[in-house]
Structure 1
């Protein structure tokens, strides 16, 4: 296994107790110096925000100008919610830092935050599937090891605005920074990597997400590999060994001068799976991995075969960043699912409880198959799948939706609620399966949107020991269905047999 980067300060860190740290993230003078702006007042800001709806007391509000929206229109709302100042391109009646261009100012503030946290090891995460989950897992591992001195992108702030914003929020005391990077089109990853300048760059996997815009899996692998262009000299590229495109990604990494570490089941992987067995209680897995110079054994709380391999990538990133593997193992054992990305809810129903698995935030062919496989391994009397359309597949959409019939059937799903126009292709395919003499496909209902899906699931009813998977692209709106049934359960009114 290639040696990880030895960060200059790696063995000299000391963490100041949180209660001894100053609350200020930025002062007016610091923002003015970073952005080349002029401060109207002295102030101290505890956070940075670009959306007036999300402003918290103490934030500095960045009034960004987009093609359809000008943040300066929302200054009143931002200050009503507790903003202490704003970054603006015109004089205003509130405390502010006046700059020539607010987007350029956000970039400058991001770079200043990156450079002042001189001790921080930065990790960049991209890939077609699993970016947010693996980013959160790496953060949890490093935050535990550093006693709260890790920082990361919140939610899925992974685009041309989200990455600079996440950097601008990084405290000077941070010892680790974990940043998610996403794309919809060619040419979007490299600028994000240039902002973050990671010491470690991880690609989770390559799958047909956004293939409508990229055109091929080769093009997706090439675009994701652009994260390596931002690596600091001697940085580590972490690549999935099981991917069909591993050699292609490795070539990109080496062309950027990176050290390469691979992970997966493949016998050539630097971080290689030796064994995985179901953990006690039926949730998660006990994993044994070979790191080349040592073997480690740890438990992961997240269920599903895909999380077994994900955990290998997480361990590779933690090790490359100089984190503690023992602490990482403890963090993985305690980590639960994220809202919209695997969170599991217990719903009280007549005679007992049902399980609702919330995967409503995103969907593509690879993640659909992975979560259906996880559903198959979930103990249940009935398995119900509420599946929303997979977006941004272009001319490939019909075929990819039809191909879900097999994993849906293999998962033992008894009833499927299919939501969105693209899911008509899957409905057609399931109809063909059901028409066969020995057809074993699930019964199914097609709905136009989440309101109809709520009604359909309510009519079908939930019973004790049901497992319900809810998954689709975020724009389908299945989060509304999740909220409906979890709210009902909390109120004690869940529809049940």
Structure 2
């Protein structure tokens, strides 16, 4: 098996010093998930990775990328010594990108980056060797880590690019050098760092800065800020493809049917009808899938195969995953759980409530007799000075009449709790931990329960507590 990095190649890429003889099959930044043969990268973030080099080597790391010899590690150990570990990781990324003939897709957007990245992995994997980021590795170390893990024989790479502040996306895109970029949408998110939605659109459009000559920008057609995105593409002289429901969209959604366990979508492109199906309900997923089909076409792949393989995609954990929690196997009692606890902003919360409204509870099986749609909503973070108004505005969502009860978690969600009709007000708590003792009261047989919130508010604790009320049904876990 060809190693991912030899000592010679890694030293050449980083201008570092290292003993010969080692070869790495992977790259890791975390000793908890490190595999034997990995190159351990001692990044300094919340903790100093140099403190874990000895453990990494003991667990079988091929070598460690360091800026100093850590305490307790022999100077003759397989260390790749560089002045700056993060800079060296970027240099590995640059070398990995340069040595491959892979066609690269860059994905950004306020909502749907990770889901679209995983759609691309699934939908294109039947036609090519696809390399894609793990989890949501989309920041200043996640993007170079993704590229550094890319093997030379990769056919298609999918790189997720995110941001929290202005000026982050352009350098990551230039490092990635994509042939195709997708902007899923632009929505109120990270408003703490931006004056308004136009500022967010400018930053998202910066992904176009790294496009390879002759590249394609796949952009949402339905937004008030779409002209900002298309102007950026026009200025860069790249091919622009619009997707969405707008009449001017090159890939235009004409109909979306949401069922309990699927999304069936029709679209038109160049005068031809398209039909595709996802095994997960959600209108927002249909829009992302349309962008995936546009990317497939831009790379010259077989659209029919891409469309078929799209049907196998399921959301990543914590991003709309559907589960059935079995309370009683004998009586066949269960409730539905939608785990969307990884991230939240106004657009993704609205999409999650749409999804909840499309689900069908089961009547006459639980203590309450009537199956309910219930939402547990945690704070949406980083929304800036209008955060209270943005939280309260959830009470105006069109799906609200179909939702029986909304529990609110976090200080910002107090604004929503106060704005809700009294009949729909559930609990309000400042922290997720305060609601844990009431977990058994939050769901009844026949109910559908959505848990949604920003990662920092830790509503994932409530997902775990709801799971422990019974056990997940393997037949329904993760695929809606």
Q: Quick check: TM above 0.5?
A: yes
Task: Tell me how far 1:255 sits from its aligned partner.
Answer: 1.0
For the pair 1:337 / 2:315, whether they are aligned, the reply is: yes
Distance in 2 between the 1:23 and 1:107 partners?
Answer: 22
SS in 2 for 1:163: helix
Q: Do the aligned partners of 1:417 and 1:456 also contact (CA within 8 Å) in 2? A: no
Whether 2:459 is the aligned partner of 1:478: answer yes
In 2: Cα distance, 1:238 partner to 1:297 partner: 19
Unmatched tracts of structure 1, length 5 or more = 1-21, 435-440, 493-497
Deviation digits for residues 256-304 of structure 1 (CA, Å, limit 9, x no counterpart): 121100000111100111222345xx32222222121533211112211
1:112 maps to which residue?
95
* Inter-partner Cα distance in structure 1 for 2:338 and 2:53: 39
The reply on whether 1:161 has 2:141 as its aligned counterpart is yes
Q: Summarize deviations over 1:450-480 as a string: whole Å, max 9, x none.
A: 22222233224x3222100000000011112
Q: 2:82 aligns with which of 80, 99, 104?
A: 99
Residues 293 and 174 from structure 1, CA distance in 2 versus in 1: closer, same or farther, beyond 3 angstroms? farther
Q: TM-score, normalised on structure 1?
A: 0.88
In structure 2, the partner of 1:396 is: 386
Pick one of 209, 221, 224 that aligns with 2:204. Answer: 224
Match of 1:450 in 2: 432
Once residues 418 and 338 of structure 1 are traced to their aligned partners in structure 2, the CA distance between those partners, rounded to angstroms, is: 24
Q: How many pairs align?
A: 456
- Distance in 2 separating the partners of 1:421 and 1:471: 15
Q: Secondary structure at the match of 2:413?
A: helix
Is the partner of 1:330 in helix, strand or coil?
Answer: helix
1:37 alignment partner, SS class: coil
CA separation in 1, counterparts of 2:403 and 2:36?
A: 47
- 1:377 corresponds, among 358, 369, 394, to 358
Runs of 4+ in 1 over 4 A off after TM superposition: none
Tell me whether 1:30 sits opposite 2:12 in the alignment.
no
Further displaced range: 41-50 or 187-196: 41-50
The answer to whether the 8 Å contact 2:263/2:278 transfers is yes
The whole-number CA distance in structure 2 between the counterparts of 1:115 and 1:160 is 19
Q: Which deviates the most, 231-240 or 56-65? A: 56-65
User: What are the equivalent positions in structure 2 for 1:196-207 lying under 5 Å apart?
Assistant: 196-207=176-187
SS of equivalent to 2:426: strand
CA distance in 2, matches of 1:359, 1:463: 19
The answer to whether the 8 Å contact 2:243/2:250 transfers is yes
Distance 1:410 1:65, change over 3 A: closer
Query: Kindly tell me: are residues 341 and 55 of structure 1, through their superposed partners in 2, closer, same or farther at Cα, counting changes over 3 Å?
Result: same
Q: Partner of 1:15 in structure 2?
A: none
Residues 380 and 453, structure 2, Cα contact 8 Å, conserved in 1: yes
Residue equivalent to 1:323 = 301
Give yes or no for the alignment of 1:141 onto 2:123: yes
TM-score normalised by the chain length of structure 2: 0.91
Please state whether the residue corresponding to 2:64 is helix, strand or coil: strand
Aligned-pair CA distance for 1:44: 1.6
Alignment partners' CA distance in 2, 1:406 and 1:254: 37
CA distance in 1, matches of 2:392, 2:28: 42
Query: What is the match of residue 464 of structure 1?
Result: 445
1:415-455 Cα distance to aligned partner (Å, 9 max, x none): 2211011011111111xx33xxxxxx413110122222222
Task: Give the superposition deviation at 1:411.
Answer: 5.1
Contact 1:372-1:411 within 8 A present in 2 as well: no
Q: Is the 8 A contact 2:222 2:245 kept in 1?
A: yes
Counterpart CA distance in 2 for 1:408 and 1:355 is 22
Deviation at 1:481, TM superposition (A): 1.6
Q: Distance in 2 between matches of 1:359 and 1:278?
A: 18
Q: Is the Cα contact below 8 Å between 2:4 and 2:151 reproduced in 1?
A: yes
Distance 1:346 1:58, change over 3 A: same
